[in-house]
Amino acid sequence: MSDSVPASWSAALDPVLASEEARRLDAWLKGEEAAGRTVYPPRGQRLAALALTPLDEVKIVILGQDPYHGPGQAHGLAFSVPDGVRLPPSLRNIYKELASDLGVEPRTGGDLTRWAQQGVLLLNNTLTVEAARAGSHAKRGWDAITDACVEAVAASDTPSVFILWGSHAQQKARRIAALGSSSHHLVIESPHPSPLSAHRGFFGSRPFSRANAFLRENGRDPIDW
């Protein structure tokens, strides 16, 4: 892949990145860009989640579906947008639940880098998307790569939290369960924070306090949300 894999993740990802499927994905992305199609996030930001959250520092994994597909939105972290960009509806709902759960007042900016730097891996299932075409890069080969990321965290002896919002993220739960040593992790599942589904159980699910309580119980520092 054109974006370099951070050193802490290379042992987990090098085998899958050497596969024929990954080579096809890389060639296809280059072909899309050569044809003049706009791909988000731009090169250099597609593995930002891994760069900001080294494998041995992961405390929580929050899984999204694919990057935002509007100009200036996607920068490599699931659900996050750069400060100064209008908050997407899902992120506004995440902030609402955070305020309800922990009393944290919603921020005006949408950059979640501070979470990532504390050990929250903000990972999408698919790491690229064509402009204005949500889901357009699904089933192109990213799943094998993001599966490997999830499996690497699940295989660790250090207890971590997996927060799975929506059916796409929850499909990865079986990857976690398949590892026999994964019972020491906490898996939190709820509907997606999208306005289409947030009122079906995302609101009131209290993922932030539940995750922090688990981290404390297992001798790990909680996240300053």
Pairing of strands 129-130, 39-40: antiparallel
How far is the CA of 143 from the CAs of 1, 94, 211, in angstroms?
A: 14, 24, 25
Which residues fall within 8 angstroms of residue 90, CB to CB, at 6 or more apart?
79, 192, 193, 194, 195, 198
How far is the C-alpha of 84 from the C-alpha of 101, rounded, in Å?
Answer: 25
Catalytic residue among 3, 14, 26, 66: 66
Contact present, 224 and 60 (Cβ < 8 Å) = no
CB atoms within 10 A of CB 2: 11
Q: Note if 66 is an active site residue.
A: yes
Alpha helices in the chain (DSSP H): 7-17, 20-34, 48-52, 89-102, 113-117, 142-154, 167-170, 173-177, 207-217
Catalytic residues: 66
